[in-house]
Structure 1
Amino acid sequence: MDSGRSSIGKCTLASTVLEAKKLVANGLKNNLIFTGYPVVGHQGKMQTSGSCLYSAGTDKSCAWDPRINGLFFYETTAIFPASKFADFIRDVKKLRDLKPENFCGVDIYNGFLIRFIRVSDAYLGQQENSVVVDFNYYRADDASTPRFNQDVWEEVEQLAFFKHGAKPHWAKNRNAAFLDVQKKYPNFNKFLGVKRRLDPQNILSSEWSDEILSGKEGAKRDGCALEGLCVCSEDRHCSPAKGYFCKPGLVYKEARVCRYSSSPSTVGSESYQTDALFD
């Protein structure tokens, strides 16, 4: 469906997946099975995502099981101060309303999940009560393969982290979400000081963790925006050979996203809006 650029196929699959998940309450259990709401109990008993906790060794119902080729997707997690969350949602709705079927892809992977975090005085904690949004979307096995409606999720991502100042989850997001991350935490330097004191030899660090803690964009190379390793500024950062060019966002004009265009001549012109809406 991605290679065929089929919105109808994506939406049909999304509708089927959502109905199936409703029937089983998305893995919630009253005891060993789901018998209806409310679901109350210990976390390990009531949220086992499709009975994975009780699966036999040969059962392949867990998508994340390393023994099988399960789901392969990106997860974006954005943490908003509660006071800014509504503005983000309003912008996402504007983007959705331009062409609702462009959002079907995220419904296949649970849609937008919303949860809450209390204020914390931890150095990397939240300075006020916060709202967390998670959303997953398809990523091919081949890192150089663009995703259908890739620009939509890149724009949502940039709306969250750049326009509305959301903080990234330290273990889930693509590198681009961490740009200037240190500016979002008043006690960031105190955290680095404690980190140096407790781990002077950087045993608990890695090349990746050093990169995201710096909050700097890595070297831009061909295709880097496909993986979220950069925000595109040139077409080569996307995949021009496959029809994906670096273009402005539709709602957040300052965003730079990899959008499909049937004609390279539309790059840099206002006609990108027509391509996005009707291709």
Structure 2
Amino acid sequence: MTVTVDAGVEMRILLDATRSEGACVSSHDRLGWVVHGRNEGYAKLIHLTEKDEEIKAARVSLGVLEPFLRWPLLWRRYFRLMEVCAEEMNNAKINVSNFCKLVRRGVEQGIKTGNGFLNDGKTFRGYPVVGYNHLMQSASGCQFDSRYKENDLCPWKAKKLKSNDTICGWDTQVNGVYYYHTSIAIPLSRITEAIRDLKQLRDMDPSAFCALESYVGVLFRYFKGSTDYLSHKEDSVVVEFNYFRYRELGRPRWNGHLMDEIEQMLLQKYGGVPHFGKNRVYTFDGAANRTANPGKFLEVKKHLDPKGYFSSGWSDGVLGIGKGLQIWRDGCALDGLCVCKEDRHCAPDKGFVCRAEKFGRMLMFACNCDTEKCNLSVMKSIYMTINVS
């Protein structure tokens, strides 16, 4: 079964329209898009199929090729998926503080209640959770609520929120959660080694991992290797985690050096590739060179858009053909704009300086606290922020 969709169609609407036919998305087959006619003075439509080499660039286009008009998708009969919980909470010996106790209670409650999963659509009785794949979305769709009309899916725009209103916590239109989102893919063949390194970092400072537990810990997603340009060269595991972020720039985070060290370890030691729609600025430096066939992608880009109408300084930097992406200024490392080289890249006035941490043969640079006093001060600030919000 093939379904052809126009540009701009929302995935939820598409899923709702096809589930009545008992179908779910499988893969894309071919696509067409509008292309500037270079010197012809008009736009022309190019239709790509699996036989065309350019389709390998189109699948991970980063928006720098051309605007898509239509994308035919392959569908198959929907099937059931099983979600299994494999938490081993007792293996981590946490140095419990008030903050860590608060976080741990939230983790235990999430495990007890299934983090929103339901066995029969009404209650959660335990893992495994089995359901149809088109309904097994981890987070999206929270803005949809049957109490509101279809043309009023954002009730907070028109009136004050009620206690039972349904919203997305990360929606920028509400004063919800605010965090950094790290998502870096490493080869599947090295995931055991990476987990061992993560545990070693944990054992060096167990209480620091409370900051990760407050955002459901470290997640792992699996991807097949592909020959598509800019994709993963081999079967990969995406190591993903969220952590606290201030709304003001230049403010140090409690044990923020841990997040920096994990990111640098995944990028440097394991040749990690950041998710192009997530992550902080500095992680994209040189990222394209660690993907599949970046040179061939640039050839297709030059052919389809020789004048760079769809490119920017940012996209050129990601692709490695422009200036470096890191932004050097006071406090840049605290905001993920750079990897610190000098103390001024951190917050020396608050006791946070740039330190080199040796991990195995690798040297990592992060903003660390000179004294425990300033670290506790930052933790208190985060604790108060969470309670206020």
- Normalising by structure 1, we get a TM-score of 0.83
Q: Which has the larger radius of gyration?
A: 2
Written as runs of structure 1 = structure 2, the 5 A alignment for 1:165-184 is 165-184=271-290
Q: Secondary structure at the match of 1:40?
A: strand
The structure 2 residue matched to 1:14, chosen from 82, 103, 117, is 103
| Aligned position for 1:211 | 317
| Aligned position for 2:370 | 261
Q: Secondary structure at the match of 2:229?
A: coil
| Aligned position for 1:42 | 132
Is residue 97 of structure 1 aligned with residue 208 of structure 2? no
| Aligned position for 2:338 | 230
Q: In 1, are the aligned partners of 2:211 and 2:244 still within 8 Å (CA)?
A: yes
| Aligned position for 2:50 | none
Q: What percent of counterpart residues are identical? A: 39
Give the Å deviation of 1:213: 2.3
Q: In 2, are the aligned partners of 1:27 and 1:47 still within 8 Å (CA)?
A: no
Q: In 1, are the aligned partners of 2:113 and 2:124 still within 8 Å (CA)?
A: no
| Aligned position for 1:141 | 247
Against the structure 1 CA distance between its residues 248 and 119, is the aligned structure 2 distance closer, same or farther, given a 3 Å change threshold?
Answer: same
Give the Å deviation of 1:115: 1.5
Aligned length: 258
**1-structure distance, mates of 2:208, 2:249:** 21
Give the Å deviation of 1:91: 1.6
Against the structure 1 CA distance between its residues 7 and 235, is the aligned structure 2 distance closer, same or farther, given a 3 Å change threshold?
Answer: farther
| Aligned position for 1:81 | 187
Q: In 2, are the aligned partners of 1:29 and 1:45 still within 8 Å (CA)?
A: no
Larger % of strand: which? 2
One-letter amino acid matched to 2:225: V
Q: Which runs of 5+ in 2 are unaligned?
A: 1-94, 148-154, 156-160, 373-389
Against the structure 1 CA distance between its residues 161 and 24, is the aligned structure 2 distance closer, same or farther, given a 3 Å change threshold?
Answer: same
Q: In 1, are the aligned partners of 2:285 and 2:326 still within 8 Å (CA)?
A: no
Q: In 1, are the aligned partners of 2:103 and 2:210 still within 8 Å (CA)?
A: yes
More off after superposition, 183-192 vs 100-109: 183-192
More off after superposition, 226-235 vs 57-66: 57-66
Alignment RMSD (CA, Å): 2.5
One-letter amino acid matched to 2:111: K
Q: Deviations over 1:28-64 (max 9, x none)?
A: 2345434333322334434364982543535254212
Larger % of helix: which? 1
Against the structure 1 CA distance between its residues 53 and 29, is the aligned structure 2 distance closer, same or farther, given a 3 Å change threshold?
Answer: farther
Q: Secondary structure at the match of 2:227?
A: coil
Give the Å deviation of 1:25: 1.6
More off after superposition, 72-81 vs 56-65: 56-65
Give the Å deviation of 1:206: 3.5
Q: In 1, are the aligned partners of 2:114 and 2:124 still within 8 Å (CA)?
A: no
Q: Deviations over 1:191-226 (max 9, x none)?
A: 122223333444443443233222834341111111
Q: In 1, are the aligned partners of 2:287 and 2:319 still within 8 Å (CA)?
A: yes
**1-structure distance, mates of 2:122, 2:136:** 9
Give the Å deviation of 1:100: 0.6
Q: Deviations over 1:99-148 (max 9, x none)?
A: 21111100111100011111111011222111111011101111111101
More off after superposition, 6-15 vs 20-29: 6-15
